[in-house]
Structure 1
Amino acid sequence: MNEVIERPGIVPQVEGRSSVAEVTKHVIAVQEVMKSVMKQNVHYGSIPGAGDKPTLLKPGAEVLCVTFRIADDFIVEDLSAPGVIRYRVKCIGKHQSTGITLGSGLGEASTDEEKYKWRKAVCTQEWEDTPKDMRRLKYGRKANGHYTVEQIRTEPADLANTVLKMACKRAKIAMVLNVTAASDMFSQDLEDLDAELVRHLAEDDRENHMQQVRQEWKEKATATETEEALRAVMKAGVKVFQETRDMDGYKEFAAVIQEHGAKLKKGATDA
């Protein structure tokens, strides 16, 4: 026999306030949906360097709308100007059964945003044939240095639909977080961050982790009291630095090994 599943829904508060029991029940419902229905990297994800809370993605916002019977309604404000397409959208969440407004969220998108404003030139010839005020060299970071990319300005009109959809998505996710009070479990959707910024955040996280690994193995080396123990630490540490391809860390580690080895050897000779 099929069981009848009662969806939690959100009870519109015409007046007064929700009881503690109602609030608790609601929070538990959000947590259960996250654990039982949502999948990482599908409904929510994480952005390196963007905090500990997972970020709510559009499919996750849709799940919460279905779960709590939230209908969305969009009000679009066109703020475009010559040379730029810009939209501000207000997403209003309403109770599906009663039509009562539960809350809203704002979202905005523009072709002046970094990821929409520029594109990589198809070839060097295209970059050279583009007026100087419509092209640029984009600098990016890489291991032990930087790189450049030849970019030219995009045509704003070609991206009008894209930025409108992005503004709607941002507004809806903001509305869902406001209406479901899920901000303590999710942060605003960050999947639309500029790819270069995401990469920088990831690199910062990796650099911090590498520094911790370097310090850990240097401390392990200096803590050894015999040459045999030092050789064992050296063998294990070298393997770690090879796997992570951290040549700078390996050089620092090797210098510590050499210095501490000399001390241990001198101590053994003096004894």
Structure 2
Amino acid sequence: MNQVVQFQPAVENYGQRSLTAADVRAQVNLMQDVMKEVMQDGTHYGTIPGTKSKSLYKAGAEKLMATFRLAGDPEVEDLSRDGEVHYRVKVRLTSMSGAFIGAGIGECSSQEDKYAWRLAVCPEEFDATPENRRRVKFSKYQGKVEQKKQVRTNPADVANTILKMAKKRGQVDAVITCTAASDLFTQDIEDLPEEVIAEIVGQQRAKPAAVAVQQATPQDSPERDAAIAECKAAAAKGTEHFRSFWTDFPANDRALVRDRMQDFKDTAASADQMLEDAK
């Protein structure tokens, strides 16, 4: 027999009384139900390889706000100075009646590595850029050292992205805090540089099947070219779309293009910036 589940009351409806164990269980069960029935891994949250915690994305935070009927009110503090765009955003969450529930804080700066630098369009651009505004960045992927030629980003070009990212971080922090979801979600892991993530979680060993596929498939094979084209097309639609695409991408195809992952991420980041600027 189907059981009738009472609709979850707004947070403020508990009034001044302390929540009972049953109240807490009801909220936890509700969040778990939303995760299972509504949220999608790779779109609303994600799991960084090597960690147990799930990282809550902006889309997931918005789903939880809708679930508990919370509204966000951002307060922006401009910390910018010459040559740097820098914002701190405090997001206050209120109930439908306007009662204050809690707040979160987020910060973002154009000095962060992923906003301060971009790939040079071509060798000529790199050579024509003053030495103090260009660099060669070394990175390591699957034991191989890579070099990428980068030039400084104009802070004004990413100003809107910086503001939106600061707000997103504050909003996610507020949602996790106000819904007591720290045991279900963490935040900002996906915003860390890859080198830092690798240091935190440790290098993951490739699965034997993936290694076999990489060894058996030539670098210039039609299969690899097709997989790269698919990934590029998905990345061109933005980071969230690419995450969802990658989740469903066949494991054998993933193995063919893992060495190009940074290129896909760069493409997705550029697409995100274009989408933000278009808003």
The alignment's TM-score, normalised by the length of structure 2, stands at 0.68
CA distance in 2, matches of 1:155, 1:91: 27
- Secondary structure in structure 1 of the residue aligned to 2:191: coil
Higher Cα radius of gyration: 1
Give the Å deviation of 1:13: 5.4
CA distance in 1, matches of 2:112, 2:157: 14
Distance change >3 Å, CA 12–CA 75, structure 1 → 2: farther
CA distance in 2, matches of 1:123, 1:244: 28
Q: Match for residue 165 of structure 1?
A: 164
Give the Å deviation of 1:33: 1.2
Q: Match for residue 95 of structure 1?
A: 95
Does residue 1:156 correspond to 2:126, yes or no?
no
Distance change >3 Å, CA 31–CA 118, structure 1 → 2: same
Q: Which amino acid aligns with 1:11?
A: E
1:209-224 matches, within 5 Å, as none
Give the Å deviation of 1:35: 1.3
> How many residues of Structure 1 are paired with residues of Structure 2 in the alignment?
213
Give the alignment partner of residue 212 of structure 2, picking from 227, 238, 242. 242
CA distance in 2, matches of 1:28, 1:198: 30
1:12–1:95 contact (8 Å) kept in structure 2: no
1:87–1:110 contact (8 Å) kept in structure 2: yes
What whole-Å deviation, never above 9, does each CA across 1:112-149 have from its counterpart, x for those lacking one? 00000001111112111111111111011144431211
Distance change >3 Å, CA 244–CA 202, structure 1 → 2: farther
CA distance in 2, matches of 1:137, 1:197: 18
Structure 1: runs of 5+ lacking an equivalent: 214-238, 247-271
Structure 2: runs of 5+ lacking an equivalent: 217-279
1:73-112 matches, within 5 Å, as 73-96=73-96, 98-112=97-111
CA distance in 2, matches of 1:241, 1:42: 28
Q: Match for residue 125 of structure 2?
A: 126
Does residue 1:57 correspond to 2:57, yes or no?
yes
1:61–1:172 contact (8 Å) kept in structure 2: yes
- Matched-pair identity in %: 41
- Secondary structure in structure 2 of the residue aligned to 1:205: coil
2:74–2:91 contact (8 Å) kept in structure 1: yes
Give the Å deviation of 1:189: 4.2
RMSD: 2.8
CA distance in 2, matches of 1:241, 1:78: 48
1:93–1:175 contact (8 Å) kept in structure 2: yes
The alignment's TM-score, normalised by the length of structure 1, stands at 0.70
Q: Which amino acid aligns with 2:107?
A: E
- Secondary structure in structure 1 of the residue aligned to 2:203: helix
